[in-house]
């Protein structure tokens, strides 16, 4: 019998006790209360009309949250990096130049992806705790005349938010498309794709959307669509927006099969968009701004130092905080997890060993959460300072 040839025995997979922490880090964050029901909805497939009704609902919601009238909006199967790779690979080809405005780890990831695709990469940098000005970017755009500029709107590794007004117009002046990472900014920070001249944008659902990781919305401008339709290169099959647009019925006349989309992820994204559109973007933006402003005020009253010195550069969804000398960042986050059941994270990329990363976003963007976090941080700091005396 075939069973006699088994080389690996069945493992014993048993459940463990687990207490879910309060997710107040840079993501993922806690779900909308309605998410549990959304994730239990029936499986839908391309063989049923409801599948396309759900896709239509999602596309309408994405036009709203990206603030674009473009029909070329959809969602990639995969977390935020799927969106990043899709936007880059569909709009910049092998041998073309991508200028990367780098200030955090996600710009470094864009550099890695572009290089693997055979794209020429040029990098311009800003201080880790600051952002770019148009005056800083223009000389490089003029000199290189790149196919595109990649920039991160909200950077969760540094806690900075990039000013976008005028950047699209500047890129287009020198023949470049504008590609933007909005993973940790969309919903929590104003983002106006059409008004700002953004050509390719992507986000993810596990941050301010308050959903599960695993699906990455993307949006493309008319200028980007023209590049896609006339390009002389092909992106990876899985990320080909031409093919994906047919599956997502972006133009109302195609229902082609490309790959099997994950039904729970579709329901989850639809649920997030339902909640966001009910609240409305202006209310969401104001809620995030007020909650984080309250948190910053509390921290500064207690003598904490914010990593980003200029208030206008601070990201409303993720705050980076500098600990007093002598306190270990990993031990500090461990204390918060064990004493307060709060999960925040230490620095990543350029902020390793330099800052804490604290998320107040999605359903957690409330003054109550801000106060809970401030009180816990004070307790942890006092405990470490007392132990070091």
Interatomic CA distance for residues 31 and 231, integer angstroms: 39
Whether residue 276 has a cis bond before it, omega within 30° of 0: no
Sheet arrangement for strand 73-77: 73-77, 215-220, 200-202, 177-181, 148-152, 97-102, 120-125
Q: Which helix (H) or strand (E) holds 125?
A: strand 120-125
For strands 97-102 and 148-152, give the pairing: parallel
| DSSP H or E stretch at residue 243 | helix 241-247
Residues, the chain: 389
DSSP codes, 54-104:
HHHHHHHHHHHHHT---S-EEEEESSHHHHHHHHHHHHS-TT-EEEEEESS
Q: Which two tokens stand for residue 355?
A: 């800052």
**Residue from 351, 383, 63, 355 nearest 217 by CA:** 63
Contact 193, 201 (CB under 8 A): yes
Question: Does 348 belong to an annotated binding site?
Answer: no
- Looking up tokens 């080809």 gives 93
- 16 alpha carbon, distance to own chain's centre: 31
Task: State both tokens at 82.
Answer: 């799927």
Phi, psi of 320 (to 5 degrees): -105, 130
As a whole number of Å, the end-to-end CA separation of the chain is 69
CA dist 173 and 142 (Å) reads 9
Count how many Cα atoms sit within 13 Å of the Cα of residue 77 in the half-sphere of its side chain: 14
d(CA 379, CA 360): 19
Pull the structure tokens for residue 67.
């603030």
Binding residue numbers: 357
- Residues forming the annotated binding site for substrate? 357
């Amino acid at each position: 019998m075939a069973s006699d040839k088994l080389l690996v025995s069945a493992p014993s997979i048993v459940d463990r006790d687990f207490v879910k922490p309060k997710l107040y880090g840079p993501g993922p964050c806690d779900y909308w209360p309605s998410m549990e029901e959304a994730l239990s909805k029936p499986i839908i497939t391309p063989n049923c009309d409801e599948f396309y009704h759900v896709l239509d609902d999602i596309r309408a919601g994405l036009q709203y949250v990206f603030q674009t009238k473009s029909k070329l909006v959809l969602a990639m199967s995969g977390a935020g990096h799927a969106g990043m790779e899709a936007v880059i690979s569909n709009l910049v080809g092998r041998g073309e130049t991508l200028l990367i405005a780098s200030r955090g780890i996600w710009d470094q990831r864009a550099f890695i992806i572009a290089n693997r695709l055979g794209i020429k990469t040029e990098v311009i940098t800003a201080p880790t705790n600051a952002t770019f000005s148009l005056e800083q970017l223009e000389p490089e755009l003029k000199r290189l005349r790149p196919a595109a500029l990649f920039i991160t709107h909200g950077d969760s590794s540094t806690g900075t938010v990039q000013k976008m007004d005028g950047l699209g117009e500047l890129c287009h002046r020198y023949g470049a498309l504008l590609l933007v990472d909005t993973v940790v900014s969309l919903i929590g920070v104003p983002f106006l794709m059409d008004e700002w001249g953004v050509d390719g944008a992507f986000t993810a659902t596990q941050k301010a959307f308050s959903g599960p990781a695993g699906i990455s919305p993307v949006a493309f401008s008319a200028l980007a669509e023209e590049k896609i339709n006339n390009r002389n290169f092909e992106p990876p099959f899985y990320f080909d927006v031409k093919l994906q647009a047919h599956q997502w019925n972006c133009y109302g006349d195609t229902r082609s099969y490309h790959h099997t989309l994950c039904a729970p992820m579709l329901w989850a994204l639809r649920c997030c968009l339902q909640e966001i559109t009910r609240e409305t973007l202006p209310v969401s933006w104001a809620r995030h701004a007020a909650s984080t402003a309250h948190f910053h005020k509390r921290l500064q009253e207690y003598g904490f130092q914010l990593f980003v010195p200029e208030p206008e550069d601070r990201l409303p969804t993720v705050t980076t905080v500098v600990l007093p000398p002598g306190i270990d960042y990993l031990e500090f986050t461990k204390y918060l997890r064990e004493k307060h059941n709060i999960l925040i994270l230490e620095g990543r990329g350029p902020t390793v060993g330099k800052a804490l990363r604290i998320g107040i976003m999605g359903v957690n963007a409330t003054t109550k959460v801000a106060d809970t976090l401030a009180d816990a941080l004070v307790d942890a700091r006092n405990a470490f300072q007392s132990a070091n005396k």
